Amino acid sequence: MNYFLPFTKILLFCVVVILCSLSLPCRGKDTLTLGESLQDGDTLISKGDIFELGFFTPGEPNRRYIGVWYRSFSTKLETILWVANREKPVTNLSGGALALSPDGNLIVTNTGSDMLWSTNISTPISNNQSRIVQLLADGNIVMNNSDGTTVWQSFDYPTDTYIPGMRVGLDLQTGVNQVFTSWRSKTDPAPGNFTLGIDPGRSTQLFVWDGRRPRWRSGRWNGQVC
């Protein structure tokens, strides 16, 4: 009796199973390093597959933005959590990119040289350091030096949505007031009229402003509740 053919099929089946199992842990990368770029159509995926960073279009197809959204939702436009170039969209559909520039900033470019957005930090990369950008498991985009020093993070620059762990507050020394700012419309993530933040008059209240006009306030904080 010839057992060669069944044995060959079994061996082939085992090889396929092993290859499939080896491929299961593979997933999208979550980091960018100097010299790398994220092109339109590519994404970064956080550990745990909860958050995703990449290009999206909320309205007109020739207006592209870099944003972070919940990966598990089928319609990402309903879960856009943070937007980088919200005031200057990429209009060249084949030329948009997110990259680390030689000066150590994270930038969004339109055609390679036309810069639309930058982290705009002045901390240079020293000769004995490297710099890396990572989408963390909590949805924060951090830019770290190789010694672990964080030089920039998206949680310090909220757009219109709160993500647990995000910092929103008033720095009494510098006067910097971190606020949430609405989209201009459902299809335009540019800053709208409404903002939410802490009263810069130091009244320990949350305010919603329509431009400069207060529209709502929480009441003073008494140490426990407003």
Tokens of 218: 């929480």
Q: What pLDDT does residue 100 have?
A: 93
Residue 18: CB atoms within 10 A of its CB come to 10
Q: What ranges make up the beta strands (E) of the chain?
A: 31-33, 37-39, 43-45, 51-56, 65-70, 80-83, 97-100, 106-109, 115-118, 131-135, 141-145, 150-153, 180-185, 188-198, 206-210, 213-217
Higher pLDDT, 77 or 214: 214
pTM (two decimals): 0.81
Query: Smallest Cα–Cα separation from 36: which of 100, 86, 117?
Result: 100
Mean pLDDT of 53-71: 92
Asked if residues 217 and 226 have their Cβ atoms less than 8 Å apart, the reply is no
Tell me: the pLDDT tens digits for 87-120? Answer: 999 997 777 999 999 889 999 999 767 899 999 9
What span, in angstroms and rounded, lies between the C-alpha atoms of 226 and 218? 6
The amino acid occupying position 111 is T
For 141-175, the pLDDT digits (tens) are 999 998 889 999 999 999 999 999 887 787 777 77
The three-state DSSP-derived secondary structure of 56-77 is ECCCCCCCEEEEEEECCCCCHH
- Residues contacting residue 193 through CB under 8 Å, at least 6 positions apart: 182, 210, 211
Domains and CATH numbers, the chain: 31-158 (2.90.10.10), 168-226 (no CATH)
